[in-house]
Structure 1
């Protein structure tokens, strides 16, 4: 049995680094929703993507009128992308106070709370960001990830199931569901679900990387490396392979520690 402690740490950091769906950020058009975890080593190392000048300009626009929902949203999201998670949450919190009932802001604020580990508050905030009569599958999926982070895996899977009823076989939701099974140490089930996501032509690179991790954790290292390298430039492929090996090495050390601790009891 794999020791779960490093999974929680890894998945927490990966989820915080993942890019929120544009649908949750103020536009209802397509970009991949959050995936609970990924092996994107380059993105983990440098989660930015917004220049300092851009952030400063957005900050000036926000400070000129903190009640401007669009300005607050853009500024908060740019801070998130730059890894300034606490500041992002503070900006978005003030924006939701100034614009009560703005569901787009609530969704962004809820995601920022999840970035900072405030999972119960994030879940509650995300609940207010849509309604039972008009549910948003993207928000349902992110709510599932917050429940997974709290160890409520069965409840999380009900949210993923609801999201999949709205968006059948959506790869990002399937990937979150697969990583939920990783957290509960059911690696064969995780692989089965992740392969469903992987086989969808619209799946993004994080789905492939999650599958590679799960395959590697089951001891099929060569297959895992082939999966995480597929269709990537050489430098990115090698970075992903290096990160995969690092994660698998951590898992091996965790198992040895668990064995020692078991022998002491």
Structure 2
């Protein structure tokens, strides 16, 4: 039961601690800016360049998008989200902008907002597996597991070897009560090169849910590679010894000489305690469990309206300052 609760928590939590993967892991020492992988020093230069461009033209979608991507590549995702939020009013019809904004919203834990943005970013004529996967994750984070499956299945059809898509689809199947269908998917994702470490932990959870406790321990602790799906669980003690360790003879072939009688020490006998001398045990009444108050989800429309109002107020203030600084004729 605790494992099911832990898996549900990983599905519903924000991306920093979630079992669902909302973004692809960055390559150490490098970053992606405008779709190209560049060294981190170049990403910092790009962030500085596009930051100045965005400051000079805050309504320009290209400047805002590239600045946000530069910040995201430097793992400054909260700042990237704020940049796209400030320029959203002027780029609300740009699918590329909506895609980046929606995936950042999902990464920052705003699942309802992300769902709306990604729905508008999804282009049936040019499907993008990143958008489809993010739509599925947004639905799953809100508890709509069955509705999430079609989006993740379509994303998997477009990117069949993408570990994050396979991981997310497997977790959605698990929460929908289909752990046996999720297991081979997680094995595939875990075997992929550069798979997120959370994939291994998710596989261990799914194995544990099916009663495969010994193999779940092997996978979670990283003692060995996961067993093939058709193999029976093997005890940790039955693993072959490393090549540099001398083999040990079986117990039936070992001869252990008994210790001399004079060297043996017998434990001193302990005095028995009569039952009537034991103190009575008092019964303690169980405290009633108080249900936790539901946490209200932020309205995505309110968040967007606030961002628009802030941007309009900023523009009005800039216009007022500019007008007041012009000398009167």
TM-score class normalised by the smaller sequence: 0.5 to 0.7
**In structure 1, which of residues 103, 110, 115 is the aligned counterpart of residue 102 of structure 2?**
110
Pairing 1:194–2:186 present: yes
Tell me what 2:15 maps to: 12
Residue deviations 1:44-99, cap 9 Å, x none? xxxx9997776444322210222333321122123334554443223113333223
**In structure 2, which of residues 187, 195, 200 is the aligned counterpart of residue 211 of structure 1?**
200
Tell me what 1:101 maps to: 93
Report how many residues are paired.
213
Ranked by relative contact order (alpha carbons within 8 Å, sequence separation 6 or more), the top structure is 1
Large movers: runs of 4+ above 6 Å: 48-53, 227-230, 260-265
Residue 110 of structure 1: CA displacement? 0.4
**Which segment drifts farther, 146-155 or 184-193?**
184-193
**In structure 1, which of residues 170, 177, 183 is the aligned counterpart of residue 169 of structure 2?**
177
Residue deviations 1:179-204, cap 9 Å, x none? 323545654433222123345x5x53
Tell me what 1:152 maps to: 144
For residues 71-86 of structure 1, the aligned pairs below 5 Å read 71-82=63-74, 84-86=76-78
List runs of 5+ in structure 1 lacking aligned partners.
31-47, 231-259
* CA distance in structure 2 between the partners assigned to 1:20 and 1:72 by the alignment: 22
| Structure 1 length-normalised TM | 0.63
Contact 2:11–2:140 (CA<8 Å) still a contact in 1? no
| Structure 2 CA distance for partners of 1:227 and 1:172, relative to 1, 3 Å | farther
List runs of 5+ in structure 2 lacking aligned partners.
27-31, 227-285, 292-329
Residue 122 of structure 1: CA displacement? 0.6
* CA distance in structure 1 between the partners assigned to 2:145 and 2:109 by the alignment: 17
**In structure 1, which of residues 159, 162, 165 is the aligned counterpart of residue 157 of structure 2?**
165
Tell me the secondary structure at the aligned position of residue 18 of structure 1: coil
Contact 1:145–1:176 (CA<8 Å) still a contact in 2? yes
